[in-house]
Amino acid sequence: MLQKTKRLTLVEQVALQIEGLIESGQWAVGMRIPAESELMADLNVSRNTLREAIRALTHAGLLKTRQGDGTYVCSSSALGAVLQKRIVRTDTMDTLEVRHALEREGAFLAAQRRTEDEARELLLHFERWETAAKLGDLDAYVTEDIRLHQMILQASHNNILIELYDHIVEALHDSIASLTRSEVKPMFIEIHRQLVEGVVAQDSNQAVAAVQRYILESKTFISIEEGDRS
């Protein structure tokens, strides 16, 4: 049976407008949103209506309020917020399997579709990634590692794949950090070199094999670590 359509409340309308600003990129992740007084004037709504809308978006994971500092954008879409919350509650093994699925397909497509400019940028970024790894700068390594995989996914030119991966990036930080501990293993450096070289050489088989080996070795490492702690 068809249901009668429901008219949106004023709070829902305001929330949708703000969500649109976030999803369009006008309000980027990490940005502090305008002050209440400015938003009230722009949207022509009361303080209570605005606060209810912001509360709803905060609950949805799009915004985060810092006491005494303001409200910040913490996700670029409702889907991203849901994925981030889910990944945070997921153990490392499950996270690795999700990475395997996304990064394997991303590497396969990137090897076929990457541009010459993307190949050059990827090689330059790999040098920065490798330097951080060899210097033992673990914070820089994790940041550069995430960016390296993002660049490969971007070279796939599959917008949905790129968006899905970008949505879980923040949650991947702890997963990648757990694989380094006090140092980056030379084996991981070599595997990433094979991955980058596979994409640059447009060798899909090499790129996919590198992702599969990286995930397999990561799972083995995590299993050993968990066994030692038990």
77's enclosing H/E stretch is none
* Domains assigned to the chain: 10-76 (1.10.10.10), 80-229 (1.20.120.530)
Question: Mean pLDDT, the chain, as a whole number?
Answer: 85
What are 106-122's pLDDT values in tens digits? 999 999 999 999 999 99
Instruction: Give the DSSP letter string of 155-216.
Output: TTT-HHHHHHHHHHHHHHHHHHHTTTTTS--HHHHHHHHHHHHHHHTT-HHHHHHHHHHHHH
pLDDT in tens, 125-172: 999 999 988 888 888 888 899 899 999 999 999 988 988 887 777 666
What are the tokens at 84?
């981030």
DSSP for 101-164 reads HHHHHHHHHHHHH--HHHHHHHHHHHHHHHHHHHHT-HHHHHHHHHHHHHHHHHTTT-HHHHHH
Orientation of helix 138-154 relative to helix 159-177, angle to 10°: 160
- Top pLDDT among 86 and 215 is at 215
Q: Indicate whether 200 pLDDT > 60.
A: yes
Q: What is the DSSP letter of 64?
A: E
Listed ranges 20-34, 54-68, 192-206; the one with the highest mean pLDDT: 192-206
Beta bridge mates, 73:
63
